Amino acid sequence: MRPFDPRVLAVAPAARRPVALLAAVGVAQGAATIGTAFALAALVVAVVEGAGLGGPVAWLTGLLVVRAGLGWMSERVAAWAGVEVTAALRTVLLRRWLDAPAEQRPDPDRGATLSAQGVAAIEPYAARFLPALVAGAVVPVLAVAALVWVDWLSALVVVLTLPLLPLFAALIGAATRDETEKRWAALSSLAGHFVDVMRGLPTLVGYGRAERQVEVITDVSHRHRRATMRTLRLAFMSSAALELLASISVAIVAVTVGLRLTHGTVTLQTGLLAILLAPEAYWPIRRVGAEFHNAADGAEAVAAVLADVTTDPAPPARGPSSPSGPDELGAAARAVTYAYPGAPDPVLHGVDLEAGPGLTVVTGPSGVGKSTLLELLAGLRTPSSGEVVAGRAHLVTQRPFLPAGTLRDALRLGTDAPDAALWEALRRVGLEGFVAGLPEALGTRLGDDGVGLSAGQRARVALARATLSSTPVLLVDEPTAHLDAESSTLVADLLRDLAERRTVVAVTHRPELVRVADQHVVLTRAGAEVHP
Amino acid sequence: MSAGPVVRPTRATVVGGLLGGAATSAGIALTATSGWLIVRASERPVILTLLAAIVAVRAFGMARPFFRYLERVVSHDAALADLAERRSSVYAALVPLTPARLGRRSRSQVLTGVVDDLTDVVEAQVRVTVPVLSSAVAGLLATALTAWFAPAVGLVVAALLLVLALGCLLAWRVESRSRDELLAARAETARIGDLVARQAGELRAIGAQDAALGWLDDAHAALRVAVRRQSRGRAGVAALILLATAAATVSAAVLVDPSAVGAPVAALLVLVPVAVGEALAPLVDTMRALARAQGSSARLDALLDQEPAVHDPDHPDPGPGVGPQHGPHVRLEGASASWTGAADQLAPTDLDLVPGRHVAVVGPNGSGKSTLLALLARTLDVSGGRHTVDGTDVRARPLAEVRSDVAVVDDEPHVFATTLAENLRLARPGADDAAVRHALGLAGLGTWADALPDGLATRLGTGGRGLSGGERTRLGVARAVLADRPVVLLDEPAAHLDHPTATAVLDDVLDATRDRSVVLVSHRAEALHRLDAVLDLGDRPASPTTKE
């Protein structure tokens, strides 16, 4: 895990500007902070010596006003950077998943966790940790540089003690690493227990096992408390040790300055500056450590996203929008073999299929890989061997995706067709009357907070959407599975009609489609054969 | 759970606050005494007279990390103790509300939300009480000290504290106002992320990639607006505090009279406002924790203040007490039901579930399929009509007894982070390995379980072995089989599975439950031919049409 991986900026160019501005504001803030120390020292000297306050007051006020402005900007820019970095990384991640064939996408649960909670953790990382990192890199350098100029002896003390901070941190870390790792493993399982029991609560209630968990939760929570406190004590102790180290270093500066002042070898101005500047060299470094602790989740998520988006797809991805032959009118599979990732045996073995304009119907026993074949033709999967050559395709799956929203949203998905076209499409699948009878017609919401569609209605909405698409190839998986005889005939006629101008490949187990097909392909374990 | 402020000081948080106050005060004192020391030294006194100040500087330098350490240990321990206590009480309060009052979809998300909300509320006890108290202690000490030397400067420091308090109030208002909007915007981006992660294939199939990215852009745009609005408030407060520090420092410099208090004290008085401003500015951040906790607490209260959907009867009727040899005879007569008490989600329905009968329930979304199962699982009461088991109204019988006849398999069975055997055994504690293996075999997981590296002792769930959708569903079925309950309710067990897996799973499920009563809610037509009757809730009036 790195504090900041510059690949973020290469992968997510939208994050460059806010991050650059963040760094610039951070540098300016550092400079203003150092300036404030000078003005404050001058002010104290003026007060003590009874000199005119005008100059120092003006300087201090001016600098603090500038710092107020920078503080204002820094909050704004940090928030902006937080959103932009998060948004850019999430967009890159989702774009990749939308472009990648199934084999190159992560498991849905893992993917969902990464894109939702994982990426969200990047926001505080960018908004809080990155500014701290900039300050940690800039302010100590400026402070030491100023000290060298003001009082080289104090600078020497700081330069000699400053490296002790990371050294000390590393030593403490090394000494406690094994112990800490052992505890973290135990800790995360204790910490996860409550979430696990909570998520399983419906199951526990269902089997009458919920009540007895109350005691278990109390017990595990207290064990978690004891284990956490052991770990935390160590962490707090090491952070206290670092603070003590910084305090002692500043005290050394103060005492040497004090002694030299009593001998008159330095001026009051110099002495004050030295004790005001010295702490500025230490605290930003300690803050980086503290903020990194809070931002660790975000840094981990950044690493996970980068790992996902920078893996080179082994064979270049071929999406339905960028197929091997975009202007291809047909769809062909040549000696295609396909095995699911992790599966020992291929589901398809040496399948040949040549579909040109017209209606091709594919039948075959359950589990023989008919749906998988359609997904291969659509470019949603990449063959393990052999090749697929197909034009842009629209695939109506068995569980077509309908978004949360109105019926209009569902139909326009992927095409943005006007209402007139939507009505025409609904007419062709025999849903015109049903939709016209809905309270808000095309504007009716679907799903839990709206009207419920039966499986057959969902299938027909998906078919209506398919008629709106302009792809040369149309692939349909079991289009009549949920339909009664009358609707099935309607759908058969519709597919027949669409096949006049497009390549239509339909998987079915029903005879009415086979009867109207131009080509009938039977898929078996051995391969595909064309029936006359 | 409800009523009263979200953040209530306890003994431990007060002690933590006082320790934190000591640490913060030591920090301010360190700056002040250092300034005094330097100025006094420049007057070139005898070194001995400086010794006291040198010791003080060192003492304050060491006291700050020391007290900070104590404060952190005390307050974190208090938070964890509080968390332990609240977790068990919230969990216990949720048990009677589960599942009917957890919403009808994505209950595991609701429950994860409870975990997060609870953490927010508990964190606020420490992240608000302790810094507020520490700041108050340190601020008042600084005011008292400066007022003792120069009352006018004391007033200046008091005014600075007032501005800081005002800043906190402002920050709290900004955070509270933007909180819900931000939360909604974040939830929307998470929803789209989740959607694409799970449905990328379906979206690609219909060429909707650009539409999906468009939704993401919209969600991000809303998030940008919300974050910008929130940051405006925070930025204003950050600037305000620096301006107030400037004003206080300049006022102190003008007001202080070195001839009256001496040069070293004059330096101290000028430096204190700066030190106070720097030490107390982080206080503003605590307001975010407070605002968040208030939102979380309100959500928790809304959830926990609900009435359970079902109650145990006051005078339970033990029922006919027939042995389980033939299973209960469950009947619904004109039964309707509602989750909320408002409109019915299930219109009056008849169902006659004689022991051993397999009934499928079909119908469009929203026709009441899940509601029907909730009635049968005794997690919801009828709002009209009758629900009887062996002729007795279920409401007259003890909840646990009626429920113990029923096993539910839903579309997302939870896999606990424990061994495979324990994951099954929760359905029937004390079941031996042979029984567990038998159940796995019937659910179609026999070969899978045999192939596992540690067999039944293989750890599953978080941190353990992952399961595919089909394996998860089968695990739920195996639990139901092991539980050996006469009635099995299947709520779209195959909803998330691809076609061949779904068919295979449904076949195995129906084989495994051959001698039990089964109610299967399904969207799919595939397995329906294997059932005795189909109840179509979309086709009113509802009554099962027996085939043949």
| A309 and A401, same domain (yes or no) | no
User: What burial class does residue B453 get, using C-beta atoms within 10 Å of its C-beta: 0-12 exposed, 13-18 middle, 19+ buried?
Assistant: exposed
Preceding peptide of B541 cis, ω within 30°: yes
Q: Which residue of B has its CA nearest to A378?
A: B205
Distance CA B42, CA B463 (A): 64
Q: If you search the block for the tokens 């019926």, which residue do you land on?
A: A407
Average pLDDT of span B405-427: 87
> What confidence tier does B542 reach under pLDDT thresholds 50, 70, 90?
very low
Sign of CA dihedral A482, A484, A487, A491: positive
Q: Which residues contact B359 (CB under 8 A, 6 or more apart)?
A: B351, B353, B518, B519, B520, B531, B532, B533, B534, B535, B544
**Chain B: nearest CA to A328, how far in angstroms?**
17
Q: What is the pLDDT along chain A (532 residues), one digit of tens a residue?
A: 567 788 888 888 888 888 889 889 988 998 999 999 999 999 999 988 888 888 899 999 999 999 999 999 999 999 999 899 899 989 989 999 888 888 888 877 778 878 877 888 888 888 888 888 888 888 899 999 999 999 999 999 999 988 888 888 788 777 776 776 676 667 677 778 888 888 888 889 888 888 888 888 999 888 888 888 888 888 888 888 888 888 888 888 888 888 898 888 889 999 999 989 998 898 888 888 777 777 777 888 888 888 888 775 544 444 443 444 556 678 888 888 888 777 777 888 888 888 888 888 988 877 778 888 888 888 888 888 888 888 888 999 887 888 888 889 888 888 888 888 989 999 988 888 888 888 888 888 876 555 677 777 888 889 999 999 888 899 998 888 777 777 888 888 889 888 888 889 998 877 778 888 888 888 888 777 777 6
Residue A284 lies in a domain: no
Nearest to B466 among A107, A247, A453 (CB): A107
Residue A106 lies in a domain: yes
Look at residues B197, B415, B67 and name the one whose alpha carbon lies nearest to residue A110.
B197
Residue A73 lies in a domain: yes
Nearest to B243 among A64, A87, A478 (CB): A64
| A296 and A367, same domain (yes or no) | no
* Contact state of A211 with B95 under an 8 Å Cβ cutoff: yes
pLDDT for the residue B198: 83
Q: Which residue of B has its CA nearest to A470?
A: B207
Distance CA A286, CA A165 (A): 8
**Chain B: nearest CA to A273, how far in angstroms?**
10
| A309 and A335, same domain (yes or no) | no
Look at residues A36, A255, A300 and name the one whose alpha carbon lies nearest to residue A143.
A36
The CATH number assigned to the domain holding A492 equals 3.40.50.300
Question: Collapsing DSSP states into helix, strand and coil, what is residue B150?
Answer: coil
Look at residues B290, B65, B83 and name the one whose alpha carbon lies nearest to residue A229.
B83
Nearest to B193 among A115, A263, A375 (CB): A115
Is the Cβ of B528 closer than 8 Å to some Cβ of chain A? no
The per-residue DSSP string of A132-146 comes to HHHHHHHHHHHHHHH
pLDDT for the residue A314: 46
- Which tokens sit at A491? 């759908």
| A408 and A526, same domain (yes or no) | yes
- Which tokens sit at B299? 């959500």
**Chain A: nearest CA to B115, how far in angstroms?**
7
Is the Cβ of A2 closer than 8 Å to some Cβ of chain B? no
Sheet holding A527-531, edge to edge: A393-396, A473-477, A503-507, A358-363, A519-524, A527-531
Look at residues A171, A140, A414 and name the one whose alpha carbon lies nearest to residue A286.
A140
Is the Cβ of B204 closer than 8 Å to some Cβ of chain A? yes
B42, B178, B229, B462: best to mutate for the A interface, most A CBs within 10 A: B42
B308 DSSP assignment: P
| A463 and A387, same domain (yes or no) | yes
Is the Cβ of B231 closer than 8 Å to some Cβ of chain A? yes
* Contact state of B77 with A451 under an 8 Å Cβ cutoff: no
Q: Which residues contact A189 (CB under 8 A, 6 or more apart)?
A: B417, B463
Residue A245 C-beta-side C-alpha neighbours within 13 Å: 22
Tell me the CA distances in angstroms from B259 to A57, A201, B262, B266, B269, one per residue in order.
20, 73, 5, 9, 13
* Contact state of B197 with A482 under an 8 Å Cβ cutoff: no
* Contact state of B206 with A414 under an 8 Å Cβ cutoff: yes
Q: Which residue of A has its CA nearest to B218?
A: A87
A365 DSSP assignment: -
pLDDT for the residue B207: 87
Percentage of residues of chain B with pLDDT beyond 90: 26
The answer to whether the CB of B265 falls within 8 A of the CB of B36 is yes
CB pairs under 8 A between A and B: 418
Residue A86 lies in a domain: yes
Residue A436 lies in a domain: yes
Rg (CA), chain A: 34
Residue A367 C-beta-side C-alpha neighbours within 13 Å: 6
- Which tokens sit at B109? 């998300």
For residue A345, which phi and psi values (nearest 5 degrees)? -110, 145
**Average pLDDT value for chain B:** 85
Preceding peptide of B99 cis, ω within 30°: yes
| A335 and A306, same domain (yes or no) | no
Kindly report, residue by residue over B464-501, the tens digit of the pLDDT.
Answer: 677 777 788 889 888 988 988 899 998 877 766 666 67
Query: What phi-psi label fits residue A473: left (phi over 0), alpha (psi between -120 and 50 degrees) or beta?
Result: beta
Per DSSP, what are the bridge partners of residue A523?
A528
The per-residue DSSP string of A486-511 comes to HHHHHHHHHHHHHTTTSEEEEE-S-H
Dump strand ranges (E) for B185-310.
none
List B residues 270-309 in contact with A (Cβ-Cβ < 8 A).
270-271, 274
Question: Collapsing DSSP states into helix, strand and coil, what is residue B332?
Answer: strand
> What confidence tier does B23 reach under pLDDT thresholds 50, 70, 90?
very high
Q: Which residues contact B432 (CB under 8 A, 6 or more apart)?
A: none
- pLDDT reading at B31 higher than 50: yes
Is the Cβ of A265 closer than 8 Å to some Cβ of chain B? no
The answer to whether the CB of B124 falls within 8 A of the CB of B7 is yes
Kindly report, residue by residue over B143-156, the tens digit of the pLDDT.
Answer: 999 999 999 999 99
Q: Find the helix packing angle between A152-161 and A213-262, rounded to 10°.
A: 150
- Which tokens sit at A37? 């120390």
Burial profile B13-45: b = 16 or more Cβ within 10 angstroms, e = fewer: bebbbbbbbbbbbbbbbbbbbbbbbbbbbbeee
Nearest to A48 among B41, B81, B258 (CB): B258
Q: Which residues contact A160 (CB under 8 A, 6 or more apart)?
A: none
Residues of B within 8 A of A280 (CB-CB) are none
pLDDT for the residue B74: 93
The answer to whether the CB of B417 falls within 8 A of the CB of B460 is yes
Distance CA B43, CA B502 (A): 90
Q: What's the full length of chain A, in residues?
A: 532
User: What burial class does residue B491 get, using C-beta atoms within 10 Å of its C-beta: 0-12 exposed, 13-18 middle, 19+ buried?
Assistant: buried
What domains appear along chain B, each with residue ranges and CATH number? 11-304 (1.20.1560.10), 330-546 (3.40.50.300)
| A54 and A118, same domain (yes or no) | yes
- Which tokens sit at B488? 């099995």
Tell me the CA distances in angstroms from A259 to A252, A266, B46, one per residue in order.
11, 10, 10
**Chain B: nearest CA to A437, how far in angstroms?**
16
| A381 and A466, same domain (yes or no) | yes
- Which tokens sit at B233? 């408030």
Total number of domains constituting chain A: 2
Per DSSP, what are the bridge partners of residue B358?
B518
Query: What phi-psi label fits residue A405: left (phi over 0), alpha (psi between -120 and 50 degrees) or beta?
Result: left
| A97 and A119, same domain (yes or no) | yes
Residue A307 lies in a domain: yes
Distance CA A283, CA B35 (A): 19
Query: What phi-psi label fits residue B498: left (phi over 0), alpha (psi between -120 and 50 degrees) or beta?
Result: beta
Distance CA A249, CA A241 (A): 12
Residues of A within 8 A of B479 (CB-CB) are 203, 207
- Which tokens sit at A230? 């052991």
Look at residues A344, A328, A343 and name the one whose alpha carbon lies nearest to residue A388.
A328
- Tell me the residue range of the domain where A139 lies: 1-148+292-317
| A302 and A367, same domain (yes or no) | no
Average pLDDT of span B119-135: 89
Residue A73 C-beta-side C-alpha neighbours within 13 Å: 16
pLDDT for the residue B102: 82
Helices (H), B95-150: 107-149
- Nearest 5°: the CA angle B161, B162, B165 is 85
Residue A5 lies in a domain: yes
| A303 and A405, same domain (yes or no) | no
ipTM: 0.86
B76, B204, B346, B487: best to mutate for the A interface, most A CBs within 10 A: B204
For residue A520, which phi and psi values (nearest 5 degrees)? -120, 120
Kindly report, residue by residue over B343-375, the tens digit of the pLDDT.
Answer: 788 888 898 988 888 998 887 767 788 889 888
| A114 and A5, same domain (yes or no) | yes
